[in-house]
Amino acid sequence: MTEDFGLEREHREFRDTFRRFVADKIAPIAERGEREQRFPREVYAVLRDAGFLAVNFPVEVGGGGGDLLMGCIFYEELTRASAGVSAGVFAHQHLAAGPVFHLGTEEQKQEFLLPALRGERLGAFGLTEPDAGSDIRGIKTTARRDGGDFVLNGSKLYITNGSIADFMLVAARTSQARSADALSMFIVETRDPGVTARDLVKVGNHSSSTAFVSLEDVRVPARRVLGEVGRGLAQLKATLTEGRILVANRGLGLAQEAWELILRYANERQAFGRTIGSFQGVAFKIAEMAARLDAVRLMIYRAARLKMAGHDCVREASMAKYLASEAAVRVTAEALLLHGGAGYMEEMKVARLYRDAPEAWIGEGTNEIQLSVIARSLGLL
């Protein structure tokens, strides 16, 4: 697609340059990661050396100085190569490095943020638990004061980068109440005694690491409390709006790639002496996908521009995430079916896109959570 969607020249130039870079340098690495079912950690060095790591972090901390729209473009293009690799990079940059940038002390930034943005230390974010995901107040992991330390006990589930990270941000309970001041955030060194991780086998996103992480009497110095004790819930909510805008582009990237694959196939595949794209039943489905993709991208960019302008955009962020995830699942499924038998073959990329797509429904809040946010903004619920 050549439409610019109101992007400035710098955004268009970045998109075109990064798209070529991803196709040439990242896609082959991602393919190996998919085959080996591992996150290819070398991706960070490749992105860093080309100046594409941390594109929407400020220059003063080693980032590219780009804005939120630049981040949107980054995740769409990266996801088109591999949703698994994109998931790992997103967890590292936004979920782990982002909060340290916004909330960390100077010491924490020197120890964790700067190496992370250089690709030298890999981060993860430990929020979800066996009995708590969308219900953040239901977190059971505890952090007990013991002298100058906190002692953490609990478990985290479905943690992206969980088995390969060097550090992990952990949400833990510093009070037994379900009140807003019951949670705190900690920076945990994954090599510390008591931290163990076990990889989980997933339906898709095979080139990302997803793990169960156990914390048994893990001692964390008070200097590694992120932000303020008791402010964890507020801090978590502060990251959600931007995160939903960014993660929406992962769903969009899956749908965009699937659409381009079926458009090409429909113009090449012959049946009954004609290309299958010349049959109305096929053409209309592909046309509907095109309309859906444009609408999703416009919604994402609208939310991003509102956020960049300093406006409240909680509703728009949830709308973007909801619409993008729905498009990811619907478009990849239609594209696979229109490929016929070929689409069901593992050697076809559309099969991988189809497997990867349902995760878009879940990450950064399920679609039911997004609809709940939207409904509350309308005075409902």
- Distance (Å) of CA 177 to CA 91, 92, 131, 145, 230: 29, 30, 16, 16, 11
331-346: average pLDDT: 96
Percentage above 70 pLDDT, the chain? 99
pLDDT over 70 (residue 283): yes
Q: Please say if the pLDDT value at position 194 is more than 60.
A: yes
Q: What is the mean pLDDT of residues 291-319?
A: 96
Q: Which of 129, 316, 326, 364 is catalytic?
A: 364
DSSP letter at 310? T
- Would strands 123-126 and 167-173 be described as parallel, antiparallel, or unpaired? parallel
Distance CA 236, CA 60 (A): 24
Tokens of 37: 């079912």
Q: Tell me the per-residue pLDDT of 95-104, one tens digit each, with 9 for 90 and over.
A: 999 999 999 9
pLDDT grade, residue 3 (50/70/90)?
A: low
- The mean pLDDT of 171-182, rounded to a whole number, is 84
Average pLDDT over residues 135-160: 92
At the topology level of CATH, where does 123-230 sit? Butyryl-CoA Dehydrogenase, subunit A; domain 2 (2.40.110)
Mean of pLDDT over the chain: 94
Residue ranges in the chain assigned as alpha helix (H): 9-21, 27-36, 42-49, 68-81, 83-90, 98-103, 106-108, 114-117, 232-268, 280-308, 314-338, 349-356, 367-377
Residues 6 or more apart in contact with residue 273 via CB below 8 angstroms: none
pLDDT grade for 68, boundaries at 50, 70 and 90: very high
For residues 47 and 21, what is the distance between their CA atoms, to the nearest angstrom?
9
Instruction: Indicate the CATH number of 9-117 among 3.90.1150.10, 3.40.50.11030, 1.10.540.10, 3.30.470.20.
Output: 1.10.540.10
Q: Domain residue spans in the chain?
A: 9-117, 123-230, 234-377
Minimum mean pLDDT range among 114-123, 184-193, 225-234, 348-357: 225-234
- Interhelix angle 83-90/27-36, rounded to 10 degrees, is 100
Give the confidence band of 37 by pLDDT, cuts at 50, 70, 90. very high
Cα–Cα distance between 98 and 325 in angstroms, integer? 23
Q: What residues form DSSP beta bridges with 270?
A: 275
Mean pLDDT of the 157-171 span: 96
Q: Please, what is the angle between helix 349-356 and helix 83-90, to 10°?
A: 40
pLDDT of residue 240: 82
Residue 88 has what pLDDT? 96
**Cβ-count burial of 243 within 10 angstroms (0-12 exposed, 13-18 middle, 19+ buried)?**
buried
Domains 9-117 and 123-230 share a fold: no
Q: Where do we find the tokens 């156990």? A: 214
Looking at domain 234-377, its CATH superfamily turns out to be Butyryl-CoA Dehydrogenase, subunit A, domain 3 (1.20.140.10)
Contact at 8 Å (CB) between 352 and 344?
Answer: no
- Predicted confidence (pLDDT) at residue 75 exceeds the cutoff of 80: yes
Is the pLDDT at 261 greater than 60, yes or no? Answer: yes
Rg (CA), the chain: 21
pLDDT at 110: 96
pLDDT at residue 1, as a whole number: 45
Residue 369 one-letter amino acid: I
Q: Which among 310, 304, 314, 309 is positioned nearest to 252, based on CA atoms? A: 304
Is 260 annotated as catalytic?
Answer: no
Over residues 219-247, the mean pLDDT reads 90
Angstrom CA distances, 147 to 100, 181, 183, 195, 218, stand at 24, 21, 19, 20, 14
